[in-house]
Chains A and B, each alone.
Chain A
């Protein structure tokens, strides 16, 4: 009975509620547009339990909302909010409010009052925090509106005393993001008392919750980022936070100290427990240095990084960072670095070891030794031998930046950098080599340092070796022994790793041209010439011999006395190398040969202006000639294309521009040619075959336009418009050709519709650029658009045909900087005769090593293609980590490609090449609504097509049948 009663009660209850809801729903529907808001409202009203409502909200959040309906949605959400008892639903609504107010094109000031209103009655801390977050979103959306900002700041201050850390966090965040600058406070008082935001935030530096303390510091940093000048008083507060128990607080405090030290570098602060005073930046430097030995590695990384940017610090403090004041049994000890230097300067280097040369020297006054608080003392020594490689890398980077600004420090830190070459982690070694290269103009390597540096040449990692070669390119060596040592080690390296050939030659080229006077005394030894006897002529194809010659010839360029030491065959070899390796061997003024080489040399740089001028002129010529008869136009185009291509070959700086314009002209030429076809004059059914040319032209134009759009770096929007325009023309051509050659109207319907969609798409994407396209194909097309929409396919085709013929030739503006993407596969070299054997059905890994030039975002665009002899093609997506970036515009792809196939009877070659994948729809801006939500996967990863951009390399493979 009781159960029955209970059931009745429930029944009645649910009935009542439902009725009520339906009523409201009906009312609401009339008020708002039949849009998302209505649907949401109905959903919400249908919800019988908080869990249901939450589900609806979650579903709703997956879809974007248009700017115009945002307000309606917000109203409905708010209405529901007032009724809702469940905190989790309110939380979701609050988060949606924040999300909605971020919608572009929507001004959230109208919902702010409501948001503040509901804030006042909210009890749940979590919801409060979320609401404040929404307010933050509103506030950041309206940066100009001072009154709103003031109000929000006021709200934040009110809730600062909340007991929940989450609410306080958000309040501080609000203050940091919206806290107004001082001057505007006085201007815009409006009854609200001006608040000292910095003071309020500063009070929370001593909050009981570490998260709030962190938020307070972050808010302060945010104020700084927004351009508010922080008070110097904050410095002392921040210093206290350095000894906080929590790492995130310490980490943020380090940042704050750094900021203040950059703001007030020259202020004077007292040293506690003494009456001395020092500059603030020095004091801050000392404090941050101290944090390099913090207990938490996060803080250590932070501190080490920031040290690098404190360039105003006094040199006295800076040099302390490398000095650890060693002692042993209370006696002063010299570091190994000092000892090495002394040994070297006394000329005793590598004379064998002496017993006890590291014996401690003078006694130390026990009172004077300061074991901790010695500020900057040894900070880098600690940082460089830290446990975590992240800290070591940060320390190396900091060293690099400081050394770049201070030559004397560069000299001092050299020893430490050299030591880092032997770090156990490769990244650290690499980083320190790069660092050394960056500061190389400030330093000269001592012989013992060079010795350590060169030892790394034997490293098995190619990256390290190549980085080292680049370092050697720009190093100053002090003695001729040093040069000799470097050469010997490089040759050793060459013998061990023959693939390093090019890099080593390049390195020796610079080494020679940098140190002509040091190479001079070495020449007889290096060429093994003898004053009386003729020696055997060395093998010209020996890479080691070429390496020596490269060094000598480059040194001889600025040392006219050197050629006198050459023997006959050296001159012959010179002539040979000058031709075969002209980029490595410079033109020499040789006795008896009057500048033979310089005349031949293409390396003599012609003035830039003439060639640039030539380029401009030839292009202008083409653009001005659009109204000539087709025959003349074609010829002119052909000539110009040829000229441009040749220019590109000769002038490497202009290659990008020349190729780019040549490709464009080529497209135009193809289009003209296609329109000249007889096909157009004759009845369609008769000329089926000839249409081949026209459709091939259309296809090729399409391909070329994709190349133009995606293979060049530095293409700007105005070029993209032209390229798309050209593509549109090609599509029109294709449509016409198809219309002419196919019978029946049905397939045409679809094609026409698709084409018109494309036109529409073009218009939407490039609406801003349309005024520049006066008189063009598209311009006319858009004029006729309404007519086209309603016409039949045959009519459309006719219109298109006439328009294509009438359309003018668009001028392609040249971009400032344009480079063609190119790729060279270094490995596999494709020379091996030994097939790669593996069991069929299993995989074999093929190492691929390639250099990429001027490729934007190679991680997502560059793919590897493998073509099997049976025509099967396989596309491999390399991992993002496989790409390295050795220099601006250059990338290096080192990856492994897995090959597999069924068994073959004999070895055969597969082709490996690199592809550039493109996706033209990627240019469309994405909606900001979906943040972190599911992004439709096909938009992100789809590949519309690929352009091969490297020469294919053949690899000999042999899948063997599996043995049973």
Chain B
């Protein structure tokens, strides 16, 4: 049997941070995502690629790399992997990901190299070279990677261009969800997959133990918080990843500002937003129903109230709302602004997403009011800290819903915390009765599969069989007589006559004969009559006949009775059938062995 061996590489396992999973499907090796960890600044931020091949080139080992979406924890290590470690094979991603990914990588590189002065980091040229290896996959398009390996993308809804991928080799398939969202939001639709019944579903489980409230309440809450702070004259800081949630919140605030006719300025930091927004305007087909329908009148991503942020604006008096990157307050502009505004209790910071342990965002969310900054400085946080779960991951119900849609044979949980995954695992096993796994980093799971082998059947045989029985009876298995011919790894089911002809063999008759002893003192004729009436009463669907020569036939099975040579009180029934009637024949024998019912004499 073939095996599937998914191995979460350094991070994707029971952790949120770096996603990188290695899957072997029927001998094909595929790497799913190539992420980096935001919390580390040293070697630990990239996956340990040396694990994949102890020696030898990556290109020889890996058949392809698939990137699910453009978040850095899913694609951040890509240039390092392809240019510095060395990989020349194809990299698959959707067109929006392909467009936006290099912008983010470049931004990340700038922060790491220009700001922090790190050496041994990938260069701009490396990003460009890396992107040249990318092949775009459109939604529901099946791409043939090589003769056997094919991949197909499904809509995942998490960010623009996020996709789930089905990897298929022969009859074996794996679905990798990447990050996905089952509830639509202001700019993206919900994840959807057809009932593809993969052998294995690898799903993220960030919110394994959460069932979220309706998004409408969340939105209203968010708007209310922002509105109240602005009316008080306070400043609102919303740390976001440059792309993804930010666009949703922008649309939300933009429409709200328009409706309520508010005047306070909204700023969006970093120049890369404009570039990215440009792509959001372009990839309208990847957005939700509303934006798709109305973009002819007005493209929702052309903001009227939202302007670019300048560093000097942070000190301006009066209320304002600022979206700043990065989302977890671990570096960059959002951290700078946070430092400036943290002292004033009128201000507010809204964390709209998940924060990795070790970041400032995580610290303030867990209630820490005094932060130790670089250079032993202590920052007292007086501003209000709010957490709005705007993170576009599926909650527990959503994960279950996706599993229900895809109907996999096995489920593997990645991208979550071990304790929470344990709960979900138990639920999945209980409710879907499928096996569920949650490997740790570096751990390999091997799943046996029972591959189905296609067998060709000759049309003549099929028609002959169809003509015999009633057609619509999918529930009852049907017995079909035929000969299986295996020739050049090619299976065919043909009728026995044809098989004989093809193989040039003569036909042999095979008959089974069986003697059944019956205690019956009567004459043979009478015994036969009794057998006849007994069988007639039991086998109603079959043709039971009493022949003039004193034998009984059931279909083509012959039954004759003879007196026992030694004991006249015993009659010997001779049952004879050809091998085609084996089923009925053996049934008849067992029936007769039970004896005849005591007839009233």
**Which residues on A are within 8 Å of B, measured CB to CB?**
161, 163, 203-204, 206-208, 245, 293, 295, 324-330, 333, 335-337, 352-353, 355, 366, 369-373, 378, 381, 384-389, 416, 419-420, 422, 424-425, 452, 455, 458-460
Contact = CB atoms under 8 A, between A and B. Distances in A.
A387 B210 CA distance: 21
A352 B427 CA distance: 39
Nearest to B405: A295
Contacts of B404: 372
Contacts of B195: 245, 295
Contacts of B189: 387
B553 interface: no
B186 interface: yes
Given A385-B184, A388-B289, A329 B228 contact: no
Contact of B211 (A295, A327, A352): A327
15 contacts: A163-B471, A206-B474, A324-B397, A335-B213, A366-B423, A372-B397, A372-B401, A372-B404, A384-B214, A385-B183, A386-B190, A387-B289, A422-B216, A424-B186, A458-B261
B259 A387 contact: no
Contact of A371 (B420, B431, B472): B431
Nearest to A295: B405
Q: Closest 8 CB pairs between A and B? A: A336-B217, A387-B184, A419-B216, A371-B400, A387-B190, A330-B209, A424-B290, A295-B405
Contacts of B255: 424
A458 B209 contact: no
A450 to B, nearest CB: 14
A369 B427 contact: yes
A206 B225 CA distance: 55
Contacts, number: 117
Q: Chain B: interface residue count, which band?
A: 35 or more
A331 B489 CA distance: 56
A412 to B, nearest CB: 14
Nearest to B232: A352
Contacts of B466: 163
Contacts of B384: 353, 355
Given A245-B195, A371-B427, A387-B190, A459 B259 contact: yes
A366 B425 CA distance: 12
Contacts of B194: 295
A324 B211 contact: yes
B214 A419 contact: yes
Contacts of B423: 330, 366
A353 B216 CA distance: 19
A640 to B, nearest CB: 56
B595 to A, nearest CB: 38
Contacts of B275: none
B475 interface: yes
B140 interface: no
Contact of A372 (B228, B289, B400, B474): B400
A386 B184 contact: yes
A206 B472 contact: yes
B444 interface: no
A337 B217 contact: yes
Interface in B400-447: 400-401, 404-405, 420, 423, 426-427, 431
Contacts of A366: 423, 426
B429 to A, nearest CB: 12
A327 B290 contact: no
A419 B216 CA distance: 6
A422 B261 CA distance: 16
B214 A381 contact: yes
Contacts of A328: 209-211
A422 B220 contact: yes
A577 to B, nearest CB: 31
A342 to B, nearest CB: 14
A386 B401 CA distance: 14
B356 interface: no
B184 A293 contact: no
B472 A458 contact: no
A373 B423 CA distance: 17
Given A161-B470, A335-B213, A419 B220 contact: yes
B396 interface: yes
B212 interface: yes
A378 B211 CA distance: 11
A698 B396 CA distance: 80
A419 B184 contact: no
B532 interface: no
A353 B228 contact: yes
A355 B427 CA distance: 32
A425 B294 CA distance: 10
Given A381-B214, A424-B290, A459-B259, A329 B427 contact: no
Nearest to B293: A425
A459 B426 CA distance: 47
A327 B210 contact: yes
Interface in B172-202: 183-184, 186, 189-190, 192-195
B472 A203 contact: yes
Nearest to B348: A353
Contacts of A370: 431
Contact of B396 (A161, A337, A371): A371
Contacts of B60: none
A352 B426 CA distance: 41
A425 B214 contact: no
B149 to A, nearest CB: 25
B215 interface: yes
Given A204-B472, A295-B195, A389-B289, 19 more contacts: A208-B472, A208-B474, A324-B397, A326-B212, A327-B211, A329-B420, A335-B213, A336-B221, A353-B386, A366-B423, A371-B397, A385-B184, A385-B215, A385-B216, A388-B289, A424-B290, A425-B289, A459-B259, A460-B259
A161 B212 CA distance: 50
B209 A419 contact: no
Contacts of B396: 327, 371
B348 to A, nearest CB: 9
Contact of B431 (A295, A355, A373): A373
A329 B259 contact: no
B207 to A, nearest CB: 9
Nearest to A380: B214
A644 B214 CA distance: 60
Interface centre among B213, B261, B386 (most CB of A within 10 A): B213
B184 A329 contact: no
Contacts of B3: none
Interface in B507-538: none
A161 B466 CA distance: 10
Interface string B279-291: 0000000001110
Contacts of A381: 214
A459 B256 CA distance: 10
Contacts of A452: 220
B547 interface: no
B378 interface: no
B183 to A, nearest CB: 6
A889 B183 CA distance: 40
B107 interface: no
Interface string B56-83: 0000000000000000000000000000
B186 A335 contact: no
Contacts of A245: 195
A460 B298 CA distance: 15
Given A295-B405, A337-B217, A326 B211 contact: yes
B460 to A, nearest CB: 14
A381 B396 CA distance: 15
Contacts of B261: 458
A419 B217 contact: yes
A415 B502 CA distance: 75
B465 interface: no
Interface centre among A371, A420, A425, A459 (most CB of B within 10 A): A371
Nearest to B209: A330
Interface in B538-594: none
Contacts of B106: none
